[in-house]
Amino acid sequence: MKFYLLLFVFASYLVANPLQEAIDTATPYSTLKLPSGTYKGNITINKPLTIIGKGKDVVIQGSGKGSVITITSSHVNIKNLTISSSGSRMDRIDAGISIKKAKQCEISSCKIIDCLYGIDMDMLSNSVIKNNYITSKKFDLTLRGNALKMYYSNNNLIENNMIENTRDVTLNYSNNNIFKANIFKNNRFATHVSLSHNNTFDKNTYLYNSVSIMVMGAKEMKVLNNTIKSSKGAAGIGVVITGVSNFIFEHNILKFNAKAIYIDGQEKAQGIKRYINYNEISYNGEALHFHASIKDNTITHNRIFGNIDDVVKDVEGNFAPSNIVEYNYWDRYAGFDRDGDNIGDHSHQVYQYADQLWHYNNKVKFFYGSPVMTLMNFLSNLAPFVEPNLIMEDAKPIFISQ
């Protein structure tokens, strides 16, 4: 009898979770200060509470199943913790931190490692996610989870986080959020915004992602002062824009991408405006790639230089009069400035010559950049053997004397 009693006590000790017990007995709005050590995870916080790691290494370690921390209350603050070892089930969204139907929470100065998803935000509002380091499990890229998964989450500040080696950061039906001064490195879709409105991305840095920013079906979005470099892979894209209304893209730097900006301008779409102003678009394979029509774009005061192609259009059609393109610097401008006003004497016109062959036929693109295609394009400029296609015209190109 004593043997069975000792066995029961020992088994109870193994399954006990002192941190969960401390959370359960704490009064609302109190603070738990944790000294250095490793604490058992898979905890649930269902009341207003602050948990702070006071020691240098305070680790909340999950069991390898489920989410490490689940928050179901507003006014919860998590600071200075290392959170690790979530489950690996994508269908259950196993995460480092899972937050559901809450507001005015803060996750700051935490490291989230070896977790499938980083922070799962399901109906989180008026909260702050800042100064965190977030990565995923060391799976193949498509099998990793999202660093941040935002669903119906509004009015949040995402600031000064380092996000690397994850799959995506996603916003679905999430409005009025601010992403500021974050670093996104070696992810798939570093930020994927879908059916979410009035979000701002300011002063972020994007490095070595497959796609840095993808925006689909959004309104009133601002992308300002970001650095977007080295989107990797043959189809590495800095920014993808499709079905976006009143999209403001200003004061950004795009360098070393296969495609800097890819715009899906739907032929029948009405009232969809894009404002691409004051950016540097340099040393990319393609600066501006348009799928379908080129319409409803305001493209002004950009510096476009060092690209293999400045403008690419992959479906036949003309440059629509609804575009406003002026005051851009193009290093390929071949005109003069005789009156010295720093504006070219005639417009800068971008034509498709022999490059129509591969713009409209991917099989021919095998020869892209080859000597024979370069020669054909040169000869087509001198004596066009097919009617060239005007795909963009800058009415007032900036002239910089050498």
Q: What is the pLDDT of residue 314?
A: 80
Q: 147, 141, 100: which is closest to 119 by C-alpha?
A: 147
Residue 294 pLDDT level (bands cut at 50, 70, 90): confident
The identity of residue 68, as a single letter, is: V
Per residue in 190-232, pLDDT tens? Answer: 999 999 999 999 999 999 999 999 999 999 999 999 999 999 8
Q: What letter would DSSP give residue 305?
A: E
Residue 298: name the closest of 318, 327, 255 by CA: 327
The single residue listed with the structure tokens 């002063």 is: 203
Specify whether the CB–CB gap between 258 and 236 falls below 8 A: yes
Question: Which of 270, 334, 330 has its CA nearest to residue 299?
Answer: 330
| E strand or H helix at 7 | helix 2-15
What does the domain layout of the chain look like in residue ranges? Answer: 26-187, 189-402
Closest by alpha carbon to 214, among 236, 234, 194, 200? 194
Tokens 């996610």 locate to 129
* Separation between Cα atoms, residue 109 and residue 178, nearest integer Å: 18
pLDDT in tens, 47-85: 999 999 998 899 999 999 999 999 999 999 999 999 999
Average per-residue pLDDT for the chain: 88
Query: Of 134, 131, 165, 252, which is closest to residue 200 (Cα–Cα)?
Result: 252
pLDDT of residue 13: 40
Query: Residue 116: which of 135, 140, 100 has the closest Cα?
Result: 135
SS3 of 144-198:
CCCCEEEECCECCEEECCEEECCCEEEEECCCCCEEECCEEECCCEEEEEECCCC
CATH 3.30.420.40 fits 26-187, yes or no: no
| Identity of the amino acid at 285 | G
